[in-house]
Structure 1
Amino acid sequence: MAGRRARERKARTRRRIIGWSIALVVVAAIAIGAAWALPRVLDRFSGPEDYAGPGSGEVIVQVQSGQNGSDVAATLVEQDVIASAEAFTDILVADPSIQLHPGAYRLAQQMSAQGALDAILDPANRAELRVTVPEGYVLRQVFERLERDLGIPQADFTQAAGDLTQFDLPADALSLEGWLFPATYTFDDGVTAVQVLQAMIARQQQALDAAGVAVEDRQRVLTFASLVQREARLPDDFGRVARVFQNRLDIGMRLQSDATVAYGTGNLHVVTTTREEREDTTNPYNTYANDGLPVGPIGAPGDTAIQAALEPTPGDWLYFVTVNPETGETVFSATYEAHNVAVAQFQQWLRDNPGWGG
């Protein structure tokens, strides 16, 4: 009897131990599950990961044309501007009226999503590059100016200009000379050489469209206008210079422009040219030795020169000479005798001002 009671007590003890063990295992499992699930539950209710504050440093973020909010958010995450894409897109979803515009923007790293969005929407944060190309500049001068103001190496422009198929040009265009419209341009930071040249050509096409120039006439008009641009000094003289050239073309008289000869030699700083240079028939831009217009433009003409080439000032002039290079005073003559008088005036000016003309 005593033995049976002892066995029963042992059995009851074993059952209690097993029960306690199972209870401990269940409690441990619940604790482990809570430890795994609780942060996720809290994350769900606390919202997506987001940086706090305005951030630090500076990074240029490019918003490309055609990108949606998710694309922009991914770029911001990639450049460590925001902590998560969700923090950014949630704001956009909540306010569908928000519009993101293409461009380059100066932002900080590790900004809040709202701060990053506010910065993109603020025009003051646009990262823009500005360059002004003067009228009459030749390609080499244009590329130098673009490198100086945009920071893009001249070699990039030279390489891009070597492939004319990537630009909207007529079939008879020999190069980009004359096709880069002289104006002030604004570009986003990160713009490429090809994109810059395409924008300048588009602006020249716009000018030609406004002037009513047919596509098949554009290369010739730009060539003519570039001569006017390089030879005329004062606004009132553009139409008269164009008339002299047009009158000569009409009667088969050579244009005899020192500017075209100089362009062909590469000596763009000179006022006059030498006899040897004017007699050089191998220079395709030599309008002393060759009939008609040169083979192509000799610089970048602006609106005034283009309009003058299309509508020269009425007159019977066949000659002109700038008698004072400092002021730009130019004398137009209908006869060779009158022209010689003006040339003598110019030569006297050169004697009085050594260092000019060479």
Structure 2
Amino acid sequence: MADEPDWDDIFRSQPQNDRPGDTAGGRRGDSGDGESGRGDGTPLRRSTHREAPALSRREQRERERQADPVVVTPSDDEDERSRRRATREPRERRSKKGPIVLATILVLVLAGGTAGVAAAWGQVQPLIAKFTGDDEPADYAGSGNGTPVEFAIVSGQVGSDIAQNLADAGVTQSYESAYSVLLSNPSMTFQPGTYTLQQQMSAQSALDALQDSANRITNKVVIPEGTAAADVYELLATATSIPIADVQAAAADHTSFGLPAEATSLEGWLFPATYELDPGKTAHDYLQDMVTTMTEHLQSAGAQPADYQKTIVFASLIQKEAGLADDYPKVARVFQNRLDQGMLLQSDATVAYGTGNTHRVTTTDEERGDANNAYNTYVHEGLPVGPISNPGDLALNAALKPADGTWLYFVTVNLDTGETAFSTTFAEHQAAVKQWQAWMREHPEYQ
């Protein structure tokens, strides 16, 4: 009562990490100065996905009830008129700023529990209880009725969004039930993703389930090493249900991904790996993740920023031509020796890429003689004009650190096992080519 702090006193005493206008009432999206932490360290930003109701049922009831004073208790020497004024004015002030205060607290709570919020919680919680009234919000009992519900948490949502969406999905009985649990548990954090819940769960059990990784539906997209960009777009569209046209449109704006000036597309820059799907991400977001990951791996391999594009072009060629892990540095050495001696690289993989068919390993005499194919290294000297695949770590490392050797030729003599013959002289190479041709006759499915 008289010895309890007012709302304004509490918030004046806390560190001013956010401006009041940025945390109360209408959230302002990704302002950058009000992020809340998740378990994985990814910011959980405010969003404009859904506004919480201006007043909960309890708040509406509290406004209507004739209650005892909450903040101000008149002194004994005041007259009855002063007493009545003292009991009413605080309630009127409270009803005006109540939704703003509650929204502010929830944003602060989801901000990861800063020192100021943690210190204030012991003071704030009793006032919240008094402010919201004694009646309990409508809530189911137990952990659900057995009917499964797939529930998505999207990047940028805050606690009020989650509480409202739980009610909308029929998981909880009311927005207020989940919202009040969030208020009383400031340490709760959530990771984006899709979770398996049930209909008619208690608010506590629903929120507990959202923090249990066992309930998370792990959706992923796998990008194999050596995949061409066009196939990456197809894989991404299939995994995410984003229309392929949207993925292709995002990729077409290649200058928006922070690539070197000499890069003319995303080809080669989409690092092959397994990426978890986030229902809140756009096609551009996913592609940017792949580009960022490629940059990180280039740095780890020791590439210099000025050489990133050249390294990727070289590595993409190695990725398509090498088979076994031990052969990557040898293939790199063959190509480097040929470049050093001014020889044509004569890679079938480059010719195939230039024809638009990236799924085959052989080419025809006519295709190898086509000078209109800019990627044709049987005709054009040096490295191809651009990457022909998206290389992984083995290829990146090999491009930067070729093996020692004098080889000028190689041919894979067994496509099933990846066995490759490396030769220094043309005669040695011709013998290996005959071995490969014999294997191909026995395996027409590869032609």
The offset of 1:176, in angstroms, is 1.3
Change (3 A) 1:84 1:40: farther
Q: 1:349 and 2:439 equivalent? A: yes
Candidates 386, 411, 421, aligned match of 1:296: 386
The offset of 1:220, in angstroms, is 1.0
Is the 8 Å Cα contact of residues 128 and 189 (structure 1) preserved in structure 2? no
RMSD between superposed Cα atoms in Å: 2.6
- Counterpart amino acid of 2:136? G
Which residue pairs with 1:25 in the alignment?
none
Greater RCO structure (CA 8 Å; 6+ sep): 1
Is the 8 Å Cα contact of residues 60 and 127 (structure 1) preserved in structure 2? no
**What is the 5 A alignment of 1:1-358?**
44-53=133-142, 54=144, 56-65=147-156, 67-189=157-279, 191-356=281-446, 358=447
1:219-244 Cα deviation digits (max 9, x unpaired): 11111001111101111111110001
- Counterpart amino acid of 1:307? N
State the alpha-carbon separation in 2 of the partners of residues 350 and 57 from structure 1.
Answer: 52
SS in 2 for 1:45: coil
- Structure 1 gap segments, 5+ residues each: 1-35
SS in 2 for 1:332: strand
- Counterpart amino acid of 1:245? F
**Segment of structure 1 superposing worse, 131-140 or 253-262:** 131-140
The offset of 1:249, in angstroms, is 1.1
Which residue pairs with 1:4 in the alignment?
none
State the alpha-carbon separation in 2 of the partners of residues 70 and 272 from structure 1.
Answer: 58
- Counterpart amino acid of 1:273? T
Is the 8 Å Cα contact of residues 414 and 420 (structure 2) preserved in structure 1? yes
Change (3 A) 1:185 1:101: closer
TM-score (norm 1): 0.80
The offset of 1:157, in angstroms, is 1.9
State the alpha-carbon separation in 2 of the partners of residues 108 and 354 from structure 1.
Answer: 53
SS in 1 for 2:315: helix
- Structure 2 gap segments, 5+ residues each: 1-60, 68-131
The offset of 1:137, in angstroms, is 1.1
**Higher-helix-fraction structure:** 1
% identical equivalent positions: 52
Q: Larger radius of gyration, structure 1 or 2? A: 1
Which residue pairs with 1:3 in the alignment?
none
State the alpha-carbon separation in 2 of the partners of residues 272 and 102 from structure 1.
Answer: 44
**Segment of structure 1 superposing worse, 257-266 or 104-113:** 104-113
The offset of 1:109, in angstroms, is 4.4
Is the 8 Å Cα contact of residues 127 and 188 (structure 1) preserved in structure 2? no
TM-score (norm 2): 0.65
Q: How many pairs align? A: 320
SS in 2 for 1:106: strand
The offset of 1:40, in angstroms, is 6.3
Is the 8 Å Cα contact of residues 63 and 102 (structure 1) preserved in structure 2? yes
